A and B are shown apart, each in its own frame.
Chain A
Amino acid sequence: MNTDPLPQPELLGVIASFEGPESLLEATMQARMAGYERLDAFSPFPIHGISEALGLRRSPLPWMVLGGGLVGIGLALGGMLYINVFEYPIVVGGKPHGALEPLLPITFEVSLLFAALTAVLGMFYLNGMPLLHHPLFRLEGFARTTDDGFFLTIDASDPRFEFKETMGFLESLGGKSVMRVEA
């Protein structure tokens, strides 16, 4: 029985370090083949093929960006037409109030602006950023993930997660310094 008067920190998962992009990719594939689902691979740069190895679905970002661009078109075109036709109708160059041609450059720019903002904010949203602190940051060597470190984590919430077994599994994949991640 637990005699420690202090409450045990919650176990979030286990982490192991790997030597390079290939071994991390290999380990990720092996872990997925062994049935683990809630994995994450950490690396200083994007590793080609890691999304597939992690079993990630295509990012919905392109559709979000398309939506942002369309909203931009609607807002710019609709707004300018409303102003030119109803709010402040004035003849410029003898053209009809509702002429579309002179509105195209601004519509194009506003559409691009909305699309670009959606791309950035959408990426932040999908990645849960900003998140200034994360339990992983408490592991001292983890800082090397932005330098030359390659890590694989398996979440404790994974259906196949068994603490001892999973630790052993990561070691069998060639993971170094396998350890707990605590909240």
Chain B
Amino acid sequence: MNLSIVEPRLDGQQNPHSRMTEGLEYHRLTEQICGIVERPVPRWWLPAFLTSLAIASGALFAATYLISTGVGVWGENQPVGWAFDITNFVFWVGIGHAGTLISAILFLLRQKWRTSINRFAEAMTLFAVACAGVYPLIHIGRVWMSWFLAPVPNANAIWPNFRSPLLWDVFAVSTYATVSLLFWYVGMIPDLASLRDRAVTRPRQVIYGILALGWRGSGRHWHHYEIAYLLLAGLATPLVVSVHTIVSFDFATSVIPGWHTTIFPPYFVAGAIFSGFAMVITLMIPARELYGLKDLVTDRHLDKMAKVLLATSLMVGYAYSVELFTAWYSANLYERFAFQNRLFGPLAWGYAIMVLCNVAIPQLLWLKRVRESVWVLFVISVLVNVGMWFERFVIIVSSLERDFLPSSWGRFIPTWVDLLQMLGVFGLFFSLMLLFLRFLPMVALSEVKAILPHPSHFKAGHTANESVQAVSRAKEVQAS
């Protein structure tokens, strides 16, 4: 059969309020977003991808060297047993949190502006968690024993310790990775179907066809789909809060001064959202520029994200000051010293960078002019990323360098393997992001279409009730 069930599309200038323009508006959006994936790659893409991939190969090399030689190739040694590995792990997990916040929490709060950035932010979450996952895996040194983390008795018939925060962390991060993947994929199914229906080459038809699982926009499907999406958002919200809480337990349940504090869970969650929003802004500004998405990711979006950045910066700043106050008020010698050491010790420069980037500079966002100048915002967001990296570094390393006994103090100096590993994982992150932009719809099409203003009398909210009443009236008439 080769019949068309729709009239040919009318193009040209129409009355902006006619129904035809509405259809065109949907179609224009599909063209805009699917077009990114269908058109030949822009000229900058391949060089950018190859560069990222080259950098990522550094991570592979550093990890191979580490595994084949031993963890001694890193700068870590007693007393600093955790340094770049866990710093980067916490950094990347934290980045991921903004994606879940945007996609789940803002969804539950009915913040409709989220729809044009949520897919992008979710992809960022997923790749950030993948990057985070690299570190715990390799930092155990003997990676072939990583299965000792799994809830099965190990080679000596010993079970893992379920009472240990480190094992909680394994469960938290792996659950987070799985749920983020599910949320991202489920949200993408209708858009994958759009790509399938527009595909012209056989491989595209087959691959997008399989990924779309036969989605055809049926009202009966949307019915369950919307509930599933809502439930996933409801589940992801406590999950995202629990993940960084549990990550902070890795530190808070220890006895190291500077780690052993009850403020850590909320402090870490606020920091995670702060750093994640900074990363979304860092990535979104160039992406919307390069792909011409300024009508979807508007200046208003950036303004709102800048405000979230400012709010979380204040929370983080508050946590920094409470931490200092508690150290002083506790009257505990070691606790006080830990913070003296953080402020004035060998890593004082790191602490200074942290306060400058995370608390001082973001105050510029109070000014409307700063929030409106895109590239200033971009620079601030990059600095926040730097500051948040240093936050984790300072917390982890400065606390370990000088704890109770001065005779067992030490220093941490990163080696080239540490630095290459860190750089390489950034390469991995950007490679994955570029692949995502190339092959998957970067804006949640079906969600954006659903919130387009409808020109006619279609009033959401009333219609549902009216239809139910009308149908039940008709049933009564038939029955009588």
Contacts and interface: CB of A to CB of B under 8 A. Distances in A.
A124 B227 CA distance: 12
B238 A22 contact: no
B1 interface: yes
Interface residues of B, number: 89
A138 B190 CA distance: 19
B214 interface: yes
Interface in A24-39: 25, 28-29, 32-35
B369 interface: no
Interface of B is mostly: helix
B179 A116 contact: yes
B463 interface: yes
Contacts of A179: 3, 5
A132 to B, nearest CB: 5
A157 interface: no
Given A105-B246, A129-B214, A132-B209, A93 B232 contact: no
B474 A33 contact: yes
A149 interface: yes
Contacts of A163: none
Contact of B471 (A17, A55, A108, A136): A55
B289 interface: no
A46 to B, nearest CB: 4
A40 B19 CA distance: 22
Given A29-B470, A32-B471, A88-B159, A44 B449 contact: yes
A147 B27 contact: yes
Contact of B222 (A46, A83, A112, A176): A46
Given A29-B467, A59-B223, A44 B1 contact: no
Contact of A116 (B178, B457, B460): B178
B165 to A, nearest CB: 8
A137 B216 contact: yes
Given A33-B471, A110-B175, A119-B232, A124 B213 contact: yes
Nearest to A51: B223
B182 A42 contact: no
A13 to B, nearest CB: 13
A45 B460 CA distance: 14
Contacts of A162: none
Given A45-B190, A145-B217, A61 B153 contact: no
A154 interface: no
A99 to B, nearest CB: 8
B152 to A, nearest CB: 10
Interface in B286-344: none
A47 interface: yes
A177 B5 contact: yes
Contacts of B48: none
Nearest to B448: A45
Contacts of A56: 219-220, 223
A109 B171 contact: yes
Interface residues of A, number: 91
Contact of A143 (B7, B23, B198, B219): B198
B228 A123 contact: yes
Contact of B235 (A29, A41, A83, A116): A116
Contacts of A62: 227, 231
A140 interface: yes
B225 interface: yes
Contact of A105 (B249, B461, B465): B249
Given A103-B162, A112-B238, A127-B221, A46 B470 contact: no
Contacts of B167: 106
Interface string B391-412: 0000000000000000000000
Given A92-B163, A133-B214, A148 B23 contact: yes
A113 B446 CA distance: 26
Contact of B172 (A99, A109, A127, A137): A109
Q: Which of A17, A20, A51, A147 has the most CB of B within 10 A?
A: A147
A15 B1 CA distance: 15
A49 interface: yes
A90 B168 CA distance: 18
B5 A141 contact: yes
Interface string B224-242: 1111100110011011001
B214 A131 contact: yes
A11 interface: no
Interface string A111-135: 0110111011011101101111110
28 contacts: A20-B23, A22-B456, A29-B467, A29-B470, A43-B222, A46-B226, A48-B464, A50-B219, A56-B219, A56-B220, A90-B161, A93-B163, A113-B178, A115-B231, A116-B178, A117-B178, A117-B182, A119-B228, A123-B228, A131-B213, A137-B216, A141-B4, A142-B216, A143-B198, A146-B30, A147-B197, A147-B198, A148-B30
